Amino acid sequence: MEIVEQKPSKHIFLFLGKGVEYAIIFFKNLILTILTLGLYYPWAKVEMLKYFYQTTEFKGNRFTFHGTGAEVFKGFIKVYIVFIALYVFLIYGTSSGRADLALISLLLFYVAIILIIPLAIHGAVRYRSSRSSWRGIHFKYFGNRKEMYKLCLVGFLLTIITFGIYNSWFKVDLRKYIFKHLKFGNLSFDFIGDGGTLFLIHLKGIFLSYITLGIYSFWYMRELYQFHIQNMVVYQNDKKIMTKFNVSVGDVFELIVINAILIIFTLGLASPWVTTRTLRFFIANVVIEGEFNEDDIKQTELDDYGDAAGDDYLDFFDIDIL
């Protein structure tokens, strides 16, 4: 057995992506996507993910995304078949000229979407986890689809009944569930934030941003980022490791304002630079604190899950899980 040495207690991530490098990937893929009328999109998405994983470094080694364009393409086809079927049904219902039929088709459309979302989240988290690795160790999501359904349906229902107030608790519950069922080799995770805190952040943030004509929104954004990141906890051999997100309000201001300026004055052509700036902001400011041994993570049970449909659904709804 090796002697496990005492590691320093702070561990940082590096983001080494460069705007120019990503711009080449971005524009090359944009051309291919346009020329193929969108069919190239799955490959473009995979290359983007691979690039951002491979430019994120922790302890001298990069992350790897193992997904393939073919996997994402298959998911993409599934999503399109489902949505075309739903839209055909919806259009048939609303153009039939009968009010009852229109109402039923509209209702069914929304019910179908509500039923798809939990499935999509489950599939997406499982796919992304299975396809993400660092030093050859993979993530694994072992959540249960039925439990996810229950959580989401209760969440949707209570959110509607409470006119959106419950949304904060729902989101936190969802995060908790995902993190509790996530593993990286033999590391496990948790999310320790609570819905009440998130709700108060929103309430205070919206109120103060409103009366300060938006100036407070930078403090508000910082609180939101910190809530979502600092409440993540990692466990290695039952030892708790905390995350810190050390950004100042000035950093948030710089990120948002410069991104906006870049986008407006280039009509979007600066988008690859904006993406790399934003990722650097999030990745390079995360610090892991605690007793942590990066050489002692063991691959555990594996989940070779190649169905990217969930991930594609979330793309369709424009939802980002993490």
The residue ranges that bind another protein (CB under 8 A) are: 16-18, 20-21, 23-25, 27-28, 30-31, 34, 38, 47, 50-51, 54-55, 60-62, 64, 66, 95, 133-138, 185, 260, 263-264, 267-269, 271, 274, 294-299, 302, 304
Per the DSSP assignment, residues forming a β-bridge with 187 are 184
Shorter beta-carbon distance to another protein: residue 166 or 273: 273
- Residue 139 CB, nearest approach to another protein (Å): 11
- Residue 29 CB, nearest approach to another protein (Å): 10
CB neighbourhood size of 150 (10 A) = 12
Helix (H) or strand (E) segment spanning residue 124: helix 99-130
- Residue 225 CB, nearest approach to another protein (Å): 19
**In terms of DSSP bridges, do strands 61-65 and 56-58 run parallel, antiparallel, or are they unpaired?**
antiparallel
- Residue 115 CB, nearest approach to another protein (Å): 26
Shorter beta-carbon distance to another protein: residue 13 or 245: 13
**Angle in degrees, CA 151, 157, 161, rounded to 5:** 140
The CA distances from residue 179 to 19, 141, 186, 229, 285, in Å, are 31, 9, 14, 12, 20
Shorter beta-carbon distance to another protein: residue 62 or 74: 62
- Residue 70 CB, nearest approach to another protein (Å): 12
Shorter beta-carbon distance to another protein: residue 194 or 254: 254
Shorter beta-carbon distance to another protein: residue 140 or 176: 140
**Angle in degrees, CA 237, 238, 242, rounded to 5:** 105
**Angle in degrees, CA 248, 251, 255, rounded to 5:** 150
